[in-house]
Structure 1
Amino acid sequence: MRIGIVVDSACDLPAGYLQHNNVVLLPITVRIGETLLPDNRDEAATLAFLQGPLSDQSAEAETIPYSAEQIRELFLSRLVTDFDQVFCLTITRTRSPLHDNAVQAGYSILNEYKPVRQAAGYNSPFSLRVIDTQNLFAAQAVSAVEAVRLRDSGATVPQMRERLEHVASNVHGYMVTRDLYYMRARARHKGDRSVGLFSAALGSALDIKPVLHGYRGNTEPVAKIKGFDNAVQTLFGFVGKRVAAGLMTPVVCVSYGGPLDELRALPGYAQLRQTCDSHGVQLTEAVMSLTGMVNVGKGAVTIGFADGPHSFGS
């Protein structure tokens, strides 16, 4: 059986990984003023954006995911003939309409795909499963890497479905951002009051950086640490402890809102890499998507892994 895997642009995996593993991308478009920027996970284009004049306006950006009709067209024009079964892994539905759009598209093609497949010489049924990864950015990537591993190991469709839904509900994502004022401006533009002006001003004045935890569709601060370098070093050290204790899947995914050389130079990162290597855990690195950067700002770090319930710092 030909099994396809689909992710959206916010899933922080390198373009080379997606291409090598035949993972299909649902692009997200970023609108800044009158300019439309397609987010195709092009690392060079994303880094060029950071150096360009539009980056100063990114707090006012609008992210536009594929509509149900666009997803329907993608499936009917390509995926129903390229694959027999598709797993579509989306950004958490609590932060984007993409999941619901994909579900709607899935229903709409049920009565349309058969003639398309038959014309291509396929008389067998086509099946689509949309899975909410319940997380963001690097944490989304954990489910995608597991999907690739399962497919390549010869897992059956029921085995993949059960495993991917289990993993998605156990992925932990963590994030440290550099600029709370940016986060506040971005949240205000989107109508999200989770970052107040007072807390942003106080945090910036004291150089306090919150560590945010994403889990099962919710995002909340779990620590406040003085200094960005100190915050990421603490985060990397914590993740290293979870790796040593044993993860649910052998992967840790990291993304950074800038050049990866800057990520690799952050305190504690080299030790995390060494810990992953010594425990047989794959560490994937990606430049954060354009979608992610306009939402959380330049220089942010996100990291994800699948693990049981835990408390930050323990």
Structure 2
Amino acid sequence: MTANSQIAVVVDTGCDLPEAYLERADVFELPFHVIYGNEDLIANLDITTDDIIARMPAEIPTTSLPSGDDITRVFDAIRARGFKQVIVINISANLSGTHNMVNLMVKEMTDLEIFTFDTKNIGIGAGFFALDVIHKIDEGASFEAICPYLESQLKKSKVFFSLDTLEYLKKGGRIGLVASLFGTALRIKPVISCNDDGIYYVVKKTRGRRQSLTQIIEQVREFSLQSDHYLSAICSAADPDEEAQVKAQMEEGLTPVKPMVDAVLDPALAVHTGPGLIGVGVYHVGQIE
């Protein structure tokens, strides 16, 4: 298993973890659901992000949280593999009810020691916390040390993203503080992030796609300068050439140079962003005292 075989890590699919981490024996995933009419599809199992984007804009599905059965199955698997301690990492409770639902269900699981963490973030901005925890576990850190460390890291993660249109956020009810831009000039392409409460807000108003991508790179570069020890990642539902260009510019602009994590955009998140999403994140890795 790992250096500390007592600890399991649970994420929801909205954390956009790279596939290699999801293949680990100590990592478990709670799936969001994508719903087309009467068809209930499990994200990343029954349907992919590419499938959803291909069906847009003719078909726009709805999404739902991991079900109670999904949560029960994951924790049954955790018990079956002999884990005694569990760290659950979820996307912002102000963007999804998953964190609150998990909290309600784990109250009855007295046979396990469980810590739940609201990242107040989205996508790989939330997933960074899980990556850090996994690395800390591999280094031998204890459950008792990791939990307060996570709390201290809450403001150390940022993801900045740009969309082709805000309509999908609006339709999905996830518009947050970005709603103020509706009715403004059509060419405004805001750079969006999550604030300290885990709600979408506008970091910068830009005109046109090129300016928005340039501003994303600048925002990430500025945030990365706060520490030499960081993780960075890119996640998109955009044209592969455009994504590759942004990735190359990020790798050139970050100092010190570090390889970027290739996050996998969750299908349910893609429903709320639509085609053309490009997001880049940075996370400052800390030390457990």
TM-score (norm 2): 0.85
Structure 1 residues 91 and 39: CA distance shift in structure 2, 3 A: same
Change (3 A) 1:245 1:271: farther
| CA distance 1:105–1:56, shift in 2 (3 Å) | same
Q: Does 1:222 align with 2:203?
A: yes
- For 1:170, the aligned partner's letter is K
Percent of paired sites with the same residue: 22
User: Residues 21 and 135 from structure 1, CA distance in 2 versus in 1: closer, same or farther, beyond 3 angstroms?
Assistant: farther
Q: Structure 1 residues 260, 286: closer, same or farther in 2, change over 3 A? A: farther
The separation in 2 between residues aligned to 1:41 and 1:133, in whole angstroms, is 24
Q: How far, CA to CA, are the matches of 2:205 and 2:56 in structure 1?
A: 31
Q: What is the 5 A alignment of 1:32-51?
A: 32-40=36-44, 45-51=48-54
State the match for 1:91 in structure 2: 91
Aligned partner of residue 6 in structure 1, secondary structure: strand
What displacement does 1:101 show?
1.2
Aligned to 1:121: none
Of residues 163, 177, 196 in structure 2, which corresponds to 1:177? 163
**Pairwise mapping of residues 294-313 of structure 1 onto structure 2 (< 5 A)?**
294-306=271-283
The partner residue of 2:262 within 270, 276, 285 is: 285
Inter-partner Cα distance in structure 1 for 2:237 and 2:163: 9
Residues 196-225 of structure 1: per-residue CA shift (max 9 Å, x gap) = 5x9434332xx1111112133232112100
Q: How many residues align?
A: 279
Note if contact 2:230-2:284 (Cα within 8 Å) is conserved in structure 1.
no
CA distance in 2, matches of 1:13, 1:49: 19
Assess, with a 3 A threshold, how the Cα gap between structure 1 residues 41 and 163 changes in structure 2: closer, same or farther: farther
Query: Are residues 173 and 231 of structure 1, via their aligned partners in 2, closer, same or farther at CA, if it must alter by over 3 Å?
Result: same
Separation (CA, whole Å) in 2 of partners of 1:55 and 1:25:
28
Contact 1:14 1:41 in 2 (8 A): no
Q: Which has the higher helix share?
A: 1
Paired amino acid for 1:298: P
Give yes or no for contact 2:223–2:282 (8 Å, CA) kept in 1.
Answer: no
What CA distance in whole angstroms lies between the structure 2 residues aligned with 1:180 and 1:211?
11
| Larger radius of gyration between Structure 1 and Structure 2 | 1
The CA distance in 1 between the partners of 2:141 and 2:239, in whole Å, is: 36
Q: Distance in 1 between matches of 2:223 and 2:282?
A: 9
Q: Which runs of 5+ in 2 are unaligned?
A: none
1:211 aligns with 2:215: no
Alignment correspondent of 1:250 = 230
Name the CA distance, whole Å, in 1 between partners of 2:241 and 2:130: 24
Report 1:29-108 matches (<5 A): 29-40=33-44, 45-51=48-54, 53=55, 56-58=58-60, 61-68=61-68, 70-75=70-75, 77-82=76-81, 83-108=83-108
Matched letter for residue 24 of structure 1 = F
Q: What is residue 148 of structure 1 aligned with on the other side?
A: 134
Shift of 1:98: 0.7
The 2-side partners of 1:54 and 1:35 are apart by 16
Q: How far apart, CA to CA, are the structure 2 residues paired with 1:259 and 1:141?
A: 23
CA distance in structure 2 between the aligned counterparts of 1:5 and 1:233, rounded to whole angstroms: 35
Question: Are the equivalent residues in 1 in contact too, given 2:177–2:200 (CA < 8 A)?
Answer: no
Q: Secondary structure at the match of 1:225?
A: coil
Q: 1:41 to 1:260 in 2, by over 3 A?
A: farther
Amino acid across the alignment from 2:281 = G
Question: Could you tell me which residue of structure 1 aligns to residue 147 of structure 2?
Answer: 161
Match of 1:272 among 250, 264, 267: 250
Among residues 21, 24, 27, which one is paired with 1:23 in the alignment?
A: 27
Aligned to 1:122: none
Q: Is the 8 A contact 2:160 2:193 kept in 1?
A: yes
Gap regions ≥5 residues in structure 1 = 114-125, 309-314
Closer, same or farther: CA 148–175 of 1 in aligned 2, 3 Å: same
- Deviation at 1:303? 2.6
